[in-house]
Structure 1
Amino acid sequence: MTIQLNHTIVPAKDKHASATFLTEIFDLPAPVPAGFFLAVTLDNGVTLDYAEPPVDFSPMHLAFLVSEEEFDGVYGRIKAWGLDHWADPRRERPGEINTNDGGRGVYFTDPNGHFLEAITVPYGGWPKT
C-alpha cells in the first residue's frame, strides 16, 4: 500500500459556512455530516472534515490542484461573488492571478479566514517523464 492522505480536520468557527463555501467555489458535492464533522470529499477521495473546536485556532492554508477548465470556473465565481483575491501569498498583488510554473494560480479566503489557493500546475511544474 502506498501512503496517502485520507482526511484532515479543518477548524472553523462556523463549519457550515466554510464547508459550503468550499463546495460552492470549487463546484463539489455538498458537504455531508460525519459525526461531529461536516465532510467535504475531494475528487481523489481525501476528505476535509470541518469541525467547530472550542478553542481559538490559526487560519490554515489549503492549496487545490485544479484543471484549466476548473480554474476558469473557480476564478469566474471569485469575480462574480466580488471576493478579494491575490496573485501571491503575501497579498501584494490584489485582484490578479499568477502564472507560476507555466500555469495559473489565485489566493482567496473563506468565511472563517482560511487562505485557499487554486493552481493549475503543481509547484515546480509537472514532473518530467
Structure 2
Amino acid sequence: MSIDLNHTIVHARDKQAEAEFFGHILGLKVGAPWGPFVPVEADNGVTFDFMDSTEVQGQHYAFLVTDEEFDQIFARIKEAGITYWADPAHRKPGEINHHYGGRGVYFDSPNGHNLEAITSPYA
C-alpha cells in the first residue's frame, strides 16, 4: 500500500489573496474556487486548499524544487521585495543556505506561513 499526501487546508484571512501569493511565487496555477476552497496544485498532485479563517496560525510548508525553479522562485521573491532568510528561525536575513549540497531559502506569506524552497532534500 502506498500512502500519499493528497491535500492540506491552509487557513488565510483572504483565501484568494493567499492562494495568488503561493501561486505567483512558486509558479503554480491557482485553480477555480471549489466549495469554501481556492486550490493551488503542486506538480505532484498535492493541493493546497486555501480557506478563509478569522484565526490563522502560521504553518511551515517546504517545497523541493529544481535548480531552475529555485532561480525563478528566488527571483520572484527578490522582485516582490519579500524578506528572506537562510534559516527557519529567521536569524540570517538576506541569505540563502547551502545544506546538503543544494540551496534553500525561507520566506513568509502574507498570512505568516513560513515557506521554504530547497533544491536538495534534507537527510
Deviation at 1:36, TM superposition (A): 0.7
**Contact 1:32/1:40 (8 A) holds in 2:** no
The code of the aligned residue for 1:105 comes to: G
- Between the aligned partners of 1:57 and 1:2, the Cα distance in structure 2 is 31
Q: Which runs of 4+ in 1 moved over 2 A?
A: none
TM-score, L = length of structure 2: 0.96
| 5+ residue gaps, structure 1 | 125-129
Instruction: For residue 44 of structure 1, give the secondary structure of its aligned residue in structure 2.
Output: coil
Instruction: For residue 116 of structure 1, give the secondary structure of its aligned residue in structure 2.
Output: strand
- Between the aligned partners of 2:6 and 2:30, the Cα distance in structure 1 is 18
The aligned runs of 1:60-71 (5 Å cut-off) are: 60-71=59-70
Q: Percent identity?
A: 54
- Between the aligned partners of 2:112 and 2:83, the Cα distance in structure 1 is 12
**Contact 1:108/1:117 (8 A) holds in 2:** yes
- Between the aligned partners of 1:82 and 1:31, the Cα distance in structure 2 is 25
Aligned to 1:104: 103
The aligned runs of 1:1-129 (5 Å cut-off) are: 1-54=1-54, 56-124=55-123
Larger Rg, first or second structure (1 or 2): 1
| 5+ residue gaps, structure 2 | none
Size of the aligned set, in residue pairs, is 123
Instruction: For residue 57 of structure 1, give the secondary structure of its aligned residue in structure 2.
Output: coil
**Farther off after superposition, 9-18 or 24-33:** 24-33
Q: List per-residue Cα deviations over 1:66-118 (Å, max 9, x = no partner).
A: 00000000001111111100000111110010000110000001111111000
How large is the RMSD of aligned CA atoms in angstroms?
1.0
- Between the aligned partners of 2:57 and 2:15, the Cα distance in structure 1 is 15
**Contact 1:20/1:31 (8 A) holds in 2:** no
TM-score, L = length of structure 1: 0.91
Deviation at 1:57, TM superposition (A): 3.2
